[in-house]
């Protein structure tokens, strides 16, 4: 079952077919002159997928306000339906990542069925111990897994175990743990003891992981704690992952670093340590802005993918990172932002596949800095859109997902059946 009428996709694709064929054949010729077979690139791009965050289909907000959009999903089944639209039109987002308890459901097997109908599966499950739920006994105001009070830590551990249980019913294979734990004042927290408490708690969660599961540890330099955070950076994350064991790895959310940090180098280090769990893709200018992937710095996103493609090319053992979007759509239709961002990740991947790795090795070996950097630019500056469109067309997706979505009237249609969200309360998604 699909949410967008498939005939609309067929008709719109047909209307732009002739122009597409000319563009594709021209790019094929250009790449052939560079010794690249376009069909091989297409085949690799066709394997690329990025997970959708269930919270991404709702309108996000800031600390100041949230301006709800039309036809926002009212429950997790609506969210799955919206994610299905993104996947139907792009064919690049085959999985959804749930967040507990933002996503609630009385029958998880029913949800699994609904996802299957939308041709979706479940990616990592996310726990939430950074905000208090109405029915919870102890508060996370001063931390969760690293809280000074053992009973609060136990409650946070219990929640993560419940998430694993839900994830097992959905077919997830990973638990992503991000904690808001930290401090707002110098002296408020004993840094080493807080980290030790975090390790002790996460070890108990780790113990409960099924054999074929992984635990993704997400670091973040600040917010909601603004002086220090317990898992502040990739170093702390790597220390924790090493202490826990093979199934624990480090997740890189692009927005969780100070401005100007060389994230692609962090990625290379984590690959070297065999500890790169995967990504939350987004973009930022100032902090954890959660802007759309590649909207501000597409070159930086390309440089991250360059490290990933290089690692795969060099056959790094066990290299298999998980890709996900993690964005807050405050002023756009979330479905539109998610489609464009997923395609942007796919674009960066395709561009990274075009890097002439033999020539780059030679340039690096002979210290030819200018040639080396030009080789990256040559790949980045290639307009790979005909490749992406070819992959979409051959998979039955929309040649132009954005215009097809707008022509479908999906948002207006769900706006009629979904109640307008009353919540304008502030809140970062």
* CB of residue 119 to ligand AFD, shortest distance in Å: 24
Assign 316 to helix, strand or coil: coil
Task: Supply 399's token pair.
Answer: 């040649």
Provide the minimum distance between the beta carbon of 279 and Mn ion in the complex, in angstroms, as a whole number: 9
Q: Which member of 178, 216, 234, 405 binds ligand AFD (CB under 6 A)? A: 178
Cβ atoms of 326 and 401 within 8 Å: the answer is no
C-beta closer to ligand AFD: residue 288 or 307: 288
Largest Cα–Cα distance in the chain?
A: 67
Query: What is the nearest approach in angstroms of Mn ion to the Cβ of residue 290?
Result: 6
Cβ 375 vs Cβ 366: under 8 Å: no
Judged by beta carbon, residue 79 or residue 99, the one nearer ligand AFD is: 99
Q: Does 280 bind ligand AFD (CB under 6 A)?
A: yes
Taking the complex as a whole, the smallest distance from the CB of residue 7 to ligand AFD amounts, in Å, to 37
Q: Pick the closer one to ligand AFD by CB: 219 or 411.
A: 219
- Judged by CB under 6 A, does residue 329 bind ligand AFD? no
> Using CA atoms, how far apart are residues 89 and 396, in angstroms rounded to an integer?
8
CA neighbor of 305 nearest in space, from 289, 316, 294: 294
| Residue of this chain nearest to ligand AFD (CB atom) | 178
172 class by beta-carbon count within 10 Å (0-12 exposed, 13-18 middle, 19+ buried): buried
Smallest distance from the beta carbon of 253 to ligand AFD, in angstroms? Answer: 5
Is 283 a binder of Mn ion (CB under 5 A)?
no
Alpha carbon distance 7, 206 (integer Å)? 48
Residue of 72, 326, 333, 389 that binds ligand AFD (CB under 6 A): 326
CB atoms within 10 A of CB 7: 8
The whole-angstrom separation of Cα 342 and Cα 86 is 9
Q: Of these partners, Mn ion, ligand AFD, none, which one is at the site of residue 112 (CB under 5 to 8 Å by kind)? A: none
Q: Is 126 in the site for ligand AFD (CB under 6 A)?
A: yes
Among 82, 253, 307, 389, binds ligand AFD (CB under 6 A): 253
Should residue 333 be labelled a site residue for ligand AFD when binding is judged by CB under 6 A? no
Establish if 123 lies at the interface with ligand AFD (CB under 6 A).
no
**396 vs 14, 359, 404, CA distance in Å?**
12, 36, 13
Query: Which one of 283, 288, 307, 389 is in contact with ligand AFD (CB under 6 A)?
Result: 288
Tokens encoding 99? 């967040």
Identity of the residue, 103 or 326, whose beta carbon is nearer to Mn ion in the bound complex: 326
In the complex, the smallest distance separating the C-beta of residue 128 from ligand AFD, rounded to whole angstroms, is 6
Residue 218 as a binder of ligand AFD (CB under 6 A): the answer is yes
- Tally of CB atoms within 10 A around 260: 6
Q: Please tell me whether residue 344 binds ligand AFD under the rule CB under 6 A.
A: no
- H-state helical runs in 208-282: 234-244, 263-272
220 binds ligand AFD (CB under 6 A): yes
* CA distance linking residue 131 with residue 428, whole number of Å: 11
Residues 252-271: x/- map of binding to Mn ion (CB under 5 A)?
-x------------------
Of 79, 99, 280, 347, the residue at the interface with Mn ion (CB under 5 A) is 280
Tell whether residue 329 is a contact of Mn ion (CB under 5 A).
no
Burial 376-413 (b: 16+ CB within 10 A, else e): beebbebebebbbbbbbbeeebbbbbbebbebbebbee
My answer on whether omega of the bond before 101 falls inside 30° of 0, hence cis, is yes
Interface residues toward Mn ion, by CB under 5 A: 253, 280, 288, 326
Interface residues toward ligand AFD, by CB under 6 A: 99, 126, 178, 218, 220, 253, 280, 288, 326
């Amino acid at each position: 079952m699909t949410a967008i009428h498939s005939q609309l996709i067929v008709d719109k694709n047909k209307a732009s077919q002739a122009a597409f064929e000319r563009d594709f054949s021209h790019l094929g010729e250009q790449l052939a002159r560079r010794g690249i077979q376009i069909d091989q690139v297409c085949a690799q791009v066709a394997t690329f997928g990025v997970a959708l965050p269930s919270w991404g289909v709702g309108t996000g907000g800031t600390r100041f306000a949230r301006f709800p959009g039309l036809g926002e999903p009212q429950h997790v089944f609506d969210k799955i339906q919206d994610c299905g639209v993104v996947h139907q039109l792009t064919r690049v987002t085959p999985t959804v990542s749930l967040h507990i308890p933002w996503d609630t459901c009385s029958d998880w097997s029913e949800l699994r069925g609904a996802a299957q109908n939308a041709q979706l599966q479940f990616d990592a499950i996310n726990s939430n111990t950074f905000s208090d739920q109405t029915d919870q006994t102890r508060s996370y105001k001063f931390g969760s897994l690293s809280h000074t009070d053992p009973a609060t830590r136990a409650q946070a551990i219990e929640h993560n175990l419940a998430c694993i249980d839900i994830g097992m019913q959905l077919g997830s294979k990973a638990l992503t743990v991000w904690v808001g734990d930290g401090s707002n004042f110098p002296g408020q927290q004993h840094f080493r003891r807080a980290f030790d408490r975090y390790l002790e708690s996460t070890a108990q969660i780790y113990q409960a992981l099924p054999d074929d599961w992984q635990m993704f540890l997400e670091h973040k330099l600040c917010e909601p704690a603004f002086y220090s955070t317990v898992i502040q950076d990739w170093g702390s994350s790597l220390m924790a992952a090493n202490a826990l064991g093979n199934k624990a790895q480090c997740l890189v959310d692009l927005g969780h670093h100070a401005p100007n940090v060389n994230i692609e180098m962090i990625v290379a280090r984590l690959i070297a340590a065999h500890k790169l769990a995967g990504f939350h893709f987004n973009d930022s200018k100032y902090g954890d802005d959660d802007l759309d992937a590649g909207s501000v710095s597409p070159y930086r996103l390309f440089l991250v993918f360059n490290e990933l493609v290089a690692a795969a090319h060099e056959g790094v053992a066990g290299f298999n990172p998980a890709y996900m979007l993690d964005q807050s759509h405050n002023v756009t239709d979330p479905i539109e932002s998610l489609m464009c961002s997923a395609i942007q990740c796919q674009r960066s991947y395709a561009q990274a596949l075009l890097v002439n790795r033999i020539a780059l090795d030679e340039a690096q070996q002979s210290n030819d800095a200018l040639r080396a950097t030009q080789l990256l630019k040559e790949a980045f500056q290639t307009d790979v859109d005909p490749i992406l469109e070819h992959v979409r067309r051959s998979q039955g997706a929309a040649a132009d997902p954005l215009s097809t979505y707008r022509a479908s009237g999906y948002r207006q249609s769900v706006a009629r059946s979904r109640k307008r969200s009353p919540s304008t309360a502030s809140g970062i998604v």
